[in-house]
Structure 1
């Protein structure tokens, strides 16, 4: 296993991580399940590629435009769907994701169903790492802010949040827009890593994969999203020795962890310096108590 192969896995993990961070804000911290984030990735990927290939815009500004485009589309979708309750919003986002894929299938400007080749390969491990660090810092600050606390209140009890004066619709829409922006930037990085885009890359299975990673890592945990993205992106590659059975083993491993730890790996907890200190103090206290006995 050479460095080029490992680097490729790390880049794909970083791309997935950025989309998962956005979905974590929407699902883990605001309580809205979405199966349409592959659609936002597709919008970001195609718009970013259009900016770099057809208009000659540098990679980073093009990424920002791709993320902004996905965010603007999410505002339109959100205004139409966020008043839906429970499973209906989830179904609406599923329909949106599939609609985006089918629309791109028929736009010949982007290559249609054949796909779009010749996209410059600008994504590398360095810019993926930097963008992810920036994305994590932004998300942490959002969660720690008053707006983040309002989003968590909506997740816990929407009716009570509305009674105390929180604008529930506004915060849901904000969460969706930020989440879509993350997915759009991730789509742009994916396009410029593979050098090729095709609508079938953004099928429902991609949205499902992102949702599984969020749940696997732990709802309401940024640390869990990071661990989940790195683990579940690398795991299929580590299981290649099982040949055609690798995805079966992958699925069985995910199911086993979900059953044994339904709250996810982190269960809403974060890996912070203070939490690590508390853990070590508890372990040392237990050790001393055991020694005293």
Structure 2
């Protein structure tokens, strides 16, 4: 069990690292359509994971004790996740891709540092999501299976690959060396296993709160999708590639969860 949990925590981080390595092997920066496609795919994976791996299990666990009100913990946890990410968005200075003006409080941080912080913000809810499902496996809640937890870890690893490339390659185009760009991209994903581990500890102490924790992670992930990824996917000249890749990411994650769960 311990080995399975450790692998589950490291799989998403491996996805980010592999994506960041693209800067070493590719000479040119990612084209706009490619970035839109990768962002759309990542969005689809995150939305499907929020529904099948987090919200549905949260409501399923609440059915026995709350009946028709089983949606309440999911609603409360979802909103707490949204507000938590909104708070982080307001207090941490960060710069999104293709943006000229940084968000959050005024800061003297370098442009590249704030770009890394923006991606790191994305990875916080993903790490929490992996942590909470593996906490469910460890505590034997019965809602989350080992296969379901693995499906979520694999899905997030798949969508982390393009995220790693999307952060490292633009950093290189900003003048950062390939080695540093790879390092920054990798470090942006390091928050995931750390966040997952901390979530496992917290969830293990508060088993009855599992539905709230699952939906909290879902709300945080949905905030990232709607506030950041979808606008990036749709910015600039009109293109349908982002929507198509969103659908592909969504169906892949849905299939993984059902097949392995």
- TM-score in same-fold range (> 0.5): no
Q: Which has the higher contact order (CA 8 A, sep 6+)?
A: 2
Which entry has the higher C-alpha Rg, 1 or 2? 1
State the TM-score, normalizing by the size of structure 1: 0.31
State the TM-score, normalizing by the size of structure 2: 0.34
